[in-house]
Amino acid sequence: MDDETLDLARLVRRYLEEVVNSPLTEAGRQGPQIGDVVGEHLGVAVQDLPVVREEVPDHQFVDLDTALTLLAERGGGERVVGVGGGDQRAHHSFSDLLGSPWARFGLGAVDRVNLPTGPDSTRRAVGFGVRLLRYRDTPVALLQRAAQRQFGQAGSVEVVSPDETVVAAFIADLRRLMVEHSVLRGQVLSFSGSP
């Protein structure tokens, strides 16, 4: 690399360091961050905890929301918090939202989505939000995310807990409750092709 290119690289580096450490950048990081809120709920630092992701087909997303509500009620209730960051958050996994050094996400409004539960009924489900609850007397946090086709993402739930065996049992129980309480039970279904 010649001297002129090296000088330019040094200038760019100095500029980027100033931007990262500027008061404007720090001001944007003030307030509770989603990783801090989840860490407080779980009682541990969340950056190194494994997150388990479970994809959910569109037609079962309402069943997911119902099953999660049932699990929360059985555990004594829940707190649902939103994630700030606009569309940027859609490009990050729950692990990234919790502890990426490059992107910090504060609290925001919980996104909701109305989903059909029958011919004349709907359910207002969490479309993008973090649910904080207890399962088998252990704290659990999860990101519930509706499908976002514009970003190439299927609906999913991403679960984290200090106890990995609790995560496995939670997901197994979640799957079972989704089938038992499916909105498709007792409905007359018709199938047709689509383009």
Give me the pLDDT at residue 22, please: 56
Give me the pLDDT at residue 90, please: 84
Mean pLDDT, 10 residues at a time, over the chain (195 residues)?
Answer: 84 78 51 92 92 93 96 96 89 88 85 90 94 97 92 90 96 96 68 67
Give me the pLDDT at residue 29, please: 53
Structure tokens at 139: 């704290």
Given the structure tokens 């709907």, which residue do they identify?
122
Give me the pLDDT at residue 24, please: 43
Indicate the pTM of the whole model. 0.79
Query: For the chain, what is the HEC assignment?
Result: CCHHHHHHHHHHHHHHHHHHCCHHHHHHCCCCEHHHHHHHHHCCCCCCCCCEEEEECHHHHHHHHHHHHHHHHHCCCEEEEEECCHHHHHHCCHHHHHHCCCCCCEEECCEEEEEEEECCEEEEEEEEEEEEEEECCEEEEEEEECCEHHHCECEEEEEECCCHHHHHHHHHHHHHHHHHCCCCCCCCCCCCCCC
CA distance 61 to 58: 5
Domains of the chain, by residue range, sit at 32-180
CA distance 42 to 132: 9
**Sign of the dihedral defined by the CA atoms of residues 153, 116, 75, 43, in that order:** positive
